[in-house]
A and B are shown apart, each in its own frame.
Chain A
Amino acid sequence: MRETLRKENRMRIELDINGSKREIEVEPRTTLLDCLRDTLGLTGAHAGCEHGVCGACTVLFDGVAVRSCLMFAVQAQGSAITTIEGVTPGPGELSPVQDAFCETHGMQCGFCTPAMILTAHALLADNPNPTREQIVEAISGNICRCTGYAQIVEAIALAAERLRGANRPKDARP
């Protein structure tokens, strides 16, 4: 009974995922996070608390950092989503922010890392020259249980500096 209900209940949606159009069917109750991970195989979006507390599920929704566990996939109909899989310039390459995270040891277990990096991308697209205070504020919604945050802040500052040096601030937007 419940199975039939679910099947009938499915809705067809179209999303722009990391630059390519995807048409999928989801139940209304599927969060954007579960849709990314389970339906689309983009497991770089991490499921931490699944109720809006940890920030591990952060993705870019039309360019803005949001918690993908706090919206249903059907609500994203027609929108552009960028996950960590979509920030690299090409296969085997890293975005300047990812590079900086490697260099400053901005990650340990890596669980918080995709969300931290996407949050940093959103910050730098908006503000190419953030103060330390602004960086701390930007990542304040993302919990990291390993690094103590110092190297993450350092990584974002380093990425900002490099992106400014490259004089191509638009690169900050994946």
Chain B
Amino acid sequence: MKAAPFEYSRPADIDEACALLAADESARVVAGGQTLVAMMAMRLARPTRLIDINRIAALSYIRTEGDDVKIGATARQCVAERDALIAKSAPLLARAIPNIGHAATRARGTVGGSLANADPAAELVLCAITLDAVIEYRADGESGEIPAREFYIGPMITTLPAGAVLSGVRFPIWRGKVGVGFHEVNARRSDFAFVSAAAQVELGDDGKAKRIAIGVGAATDFPLRLDSAEAQLSGTALDEKTVRDALRAALADVETLEDLHASADYRRRVAVDLAARALADARNAAQGKPHAH
């Protein structure tokens, strides 16, 4: 359980990090390190150089800009968890983050690290896909961006260009009567989810769903958006039966993962259940209190 030898660099800014990364294709960027350092201990990862971006202060922002909440790559999960701006403008994140690992791993773990790591069960990846977040990066002195729905293509696989460093993410702000819901099932609290589900709803003045987003995580190679259910449910009052029928139909042909912990059938069945609960929570929250601004 000891990492193989490597060189360590602590660049002062993101362009220096990119240059170091470009110079050595076996180098890896480390942010919170809550996955990478464990992988290195098990020697499942053997980077020749570790590029530590933790101290790049310019990457730890959480702010709103126009219609987006912008979060820097090295903003800590524990900071985002308690951030008033996130609670107000990206409430799905505030709901999901307490489910990531444990307090001691959220204390080091970063928002960008989790997004870049692309674990199929990662709560932040599910939120990014559900809310159509946009991933931002730097490479070669230039900035680029990729919509989250095009960023994830497999388990731990993203379309981040080689030599690029993820710099941040932006989540669109929903206004109006907005509510969110998030549920997951795991063997022990805060372990990796077997299935997770996220929902965000905006209700119109008639009480019907004006805008709706539903995602399911940990059930497939990367989190899944339930587009067909969203289309079917928008404009409805989101009553239990309509919701369940739509979710069941949306998940019917999805090839869910199967492993030691949970069968494919179990995952599909539980995905329907958790998504229904998340939607019910979102609807109730939207009814209960009109979302500020």
* Chain A residues near B (Cβ < 8 Å): 2, 5-6, 9, 11, 27-29, 31, 34, 49-52, 55, 58, 61, 64-67, 69-72, 74-75, 77, 119, 137-138, 140-141
Select which of B34, B107, B189 is within 8 A of A52 by beta carbon.
B34
Q: Is the CB of A72 within 8 A of B37?
A: yes
Q: Is the CB of A9 within 8 A of B5?
A: yes
> What's the Cα separation between A119 and B30 when bound, in Å?
25
> What's the Cα separation between A34 and B40 when bound, in Å?
15
Q: Is the CB of A28 within 8 A of B8?
A: yes
> What's the Cα separation between A2 and B105 when bound, in Å?
33
Interface of A is mostly: mixed
For residue B41, CB closer than 8 A to chain A, the reply is yes
Select which of A5, A11, A52 is within 8 A of B37 by beta carbon.
A52
Q: Is the CB of B50 within 8 A of A140?
A: no
Nearest CB in chain A to that of B41: its residue? A51
> What 8 A-B pairs come out closest when comparing CB atoms?
A141-B102, A28-B8, A50-B1, A51-B38, A29-B3, A52-B38, A51-B41, A70-B37
Q: Is the CB of B34 within 8 A of A70?
A: yes
- Please indicate the chain A residues that have their CB under 8 angstroms from the CB of B188 in the complex: 140
> What's the Cα separation between A2 and B4 when bound, in Å?
11
Interfacial residues of chain B within 21-46, with CB under 8 A of chain A in the complex: 30, 33-34, 37-38, 40-42
Q: Is the CB of B38 within 8 A of A70?
A: yes
For residue B101, CB closer than 8 A to chain A, the reply is yes
For residue B190, CB closer than 8 A to chain A, the reply is yes
Select which of B5, B54, B107 is within 8 A of A29 by beta carbon.
B5
Tell me the smallest distance from the CB of A129 to a CB of chain B, in Å. 17
Nearest CB in chain A to that of B102: its residue? A141
Tell me the smallest distance from the CB of B35 to a CB of chain A, in Å. 8
- Please indicate the chain B residues that have their CB under 8 angstroms from the CB of A31 in the complex: 3, 37, 41
- Please indicate the chain B residues that have their CB under 8 angstroms from the CB of A77 in the complex: 10
- Please indicate the chain B residues that have their CB under 8 angstroms from the CB of A58 in the complex: 104
Select which of A11, A55, A75 is within 8 A of B104 by beta carbon.
A55
Tell me the smallest distance from the CB of B250 to a CB of chain A, in Å. 33
Q: Is the CB of A66 within 8 A of B108?
A: yes
- Please indicate the chain B residues that have their CB under 8 angstroms from the CB of A75 in the complex: 30, 33, 52, 54
For A5, A52, A140, the residue with the greatest tally of chain B CB atoms inside 10 Å of its CB is A52
> What's the Cα separation between A58 and B107 when bound, in Å?
12
Given contacts A11-B8, A70-B34, A75-B54, contact A140 B2 (CB under 8 A): no
Nearest CB in chain A to that of B52: its residue? A75
Q: Is the CB of A141 within 8 A of B2?
A: no
- Please indicate the chain A residues that have their CB under 8 angstroms from the CB of B262 in the complex: none
- Please indicate the chain A residues that have their CB under 8 angstroms from the CB of B101 in the complex: 141
> What's the Cα separation between A28 and B37 when bound, in Å?
12
- Please indicate the chain B residues that have their CB under 8 angstroms from the CB of A9 in the complex: 5, 7
Nearest CB in chain A to that of B30: its residue? A75
> What's the Cα separation between A51 and B41 when bound, in Å?
6
